[in-house]
Amino acid sequence: MSGPPISPDGNYWWDGQAWRPIPAPAVQSPVQAPAPADQPAWLDQPAAAAAPEPAPNLIPEPALAQEPVVLPWSEPAPRRSSRTWIYVTGAALIAVMALTALYVGSQMRAYSQNTAAVVSPSPSPIISDYERANRFLNVDLTPPMGEVYVALPPAQKTCTVKLPPSCKDALIALNKAMLDVDDAFAKNQADIPVCIGRPVQQFQFDLRGMEQGVSQAIAGFNANSRSLIVSGLIKYNEIVKYVKPDVDRINKALASCSKTV
């Protein structure tokens, strides 16, 4: 059978009533191998044409500096300045402990020399506030404070910036001596006259803070934590500077105590 009439230019055909445009031929798709029966439908897609490789750049771009990747759980590297600060702090603590030992020891010896007559029992059961204050400072407080004076030099000698195990032993002895001083305060509260009550109470408060710092340093040795040791010694160092003002206030208050019964 012959087809419908075609126009001379080949672009139209006659349907019997009017000329109609001839549709363009469809583009043939590449032949694909049949997909397996169990293959998903999304696999039956034509492969994307590979992009042409870019021409090599004769002048390479400068490489960008890569920032180091820091994981959230990784600890930052220790800074040399922090380590130096720890060493300097440790050395300063040792020096302060030495000065404290000398000062406290000299004050305790001064009490012993100035109040030697008070050591002997008083023939009268009623004594002045000045004598009561002297008795408390010399008889009740000087012996345990002497233990602190004896325990400080070993701590000064062994507690170097390397914090050897012998430092722990020295701190334990110092801590025991300081606890004995606190016990002396607790057992002889009734013997402390009002004239020295306030400065003595402040001295006791500061001494307890120093003892807590030493206890914290000992706990750092037990936990093998250098930072905890240094934190305890820093606390001790922050409070020990108040020892001299405390003792000066006690001496000033003692001079104001009444010497009459």
pLDDT, position 105: 55
Q: Residue 147: pLDDT above 60?
A: yes
Q: pLDDT digits over 115-134, tens only?
A: 444 444 444 458 999 999 99
Average pLDDT of the chain to the nearest whole number: 74
Q: What is the mean pLDDT of residues 186-195?
A: 92
pLDDT, position 22: 77
Six-digit token string for 78? 């220790």
pLDDT, position 20: 81
3-state SS class at 89 = helix
Exposed, middle or buried by CB within 10 Å (0-12, 13-18, 19+), for 242?
Answer: middle
Q: pLDDT digits over 6-27, tens only?
A: 777 777 777 777 778 877 665 5
| CA 16 to the chain's CA centroid | 99
Q: Residue 254: pLDDT above 70?
A: yes
* For the chain, domain boundaries: 80-256
Band (pLDDT 50/70/90 cuts) for residue 217 is: very high
Band (pLDDT 50/70/90 cuts) for residue 218 is: very high
Q: pLDDT digits over 25-81, tens only?
A: 655 555 554 545 555 554 455 555 555 555 444 334 444 344 444 433 334 444 544
Give dist(CA 219, CA 175) in Å, integer: 12
pLDDT, position 154: 93
DSSP string, 90-159: HHHHHHHHHHHHHHHHHHHHHHHHHTHHHHSPPSSS---HHHHHHHIIIIIIHHHHHHHHHHHHHHHHH-
